[in-house]
Structure 1
């Protein structure tokens, strides 16, 4: 998985120690004749299916990061409809040993154009899935998709 240059620099100072980072999740939805589909990718590091996720770069707005990550990772153009959830995630140990914890901003996004395909080495597959036929995913990602689909009036705060 590509590590942003500023994170790589921090890692030269702190090694694998816990690093707190701003993150984003883009739940991209599109309406088709038989209902709603969600865009998912299979992560190259874990093999898990997830919505598009990423790290917000210094000075970057989280909603801009979400759109950027969707394009980079899936070659799909998406538009943020709104923020649906902000939460502190669990501590994650990445396959390289780095420990991270993310302040996640989950956005409900609308598909604009493009057919999904892996755009970088972060995904091995990308695909649209019907909401009733999602592949197995970590619980936190199932909850993020469900929150975006429910489109609550108020932003969900916390886990």
Structure 2
């Protein structure tokens, strides 16, 4: 259902946005991990889970407004290298910010909030702060390794 709504938004506003299918998006994530390891670069992975976001927003009207602002912001600020795709079982949207770190995500959050402010939709910040958690690769792997070393030292 959300898939059709998002495609309708893209078509209605003629946004230049492509959303990969879940299997192609998963493959692109795997390729990016390999590329990042080889190039010693980093990227940010973000999930926008439909159910969690809709539950926080509380109603259909807020949900439509959220996704309108989401698509409007991405269409105006998306870099050519950023990748958008459906998560497993089309449960949400994933976003890869290539060659980026947390500051890249923070800039995008600022743009989401500015666009939301123009539409008097202040709840956008709550959703982005409460529901959406960016993961920076390879820092997330290094954090896990550091935790494992700390456990072994105890």
TM range (shorter): under 0.3
Larger fraction in strand: 1
Calculate the TM-score normalised by the size of structure 1. Answer: 0.26
Question: Normalised by the size of structure 2, how large is the TM-score?
Answer: 0.27
Computing the radius of gyration from Cα coordinates, the structure with the larger value is 2
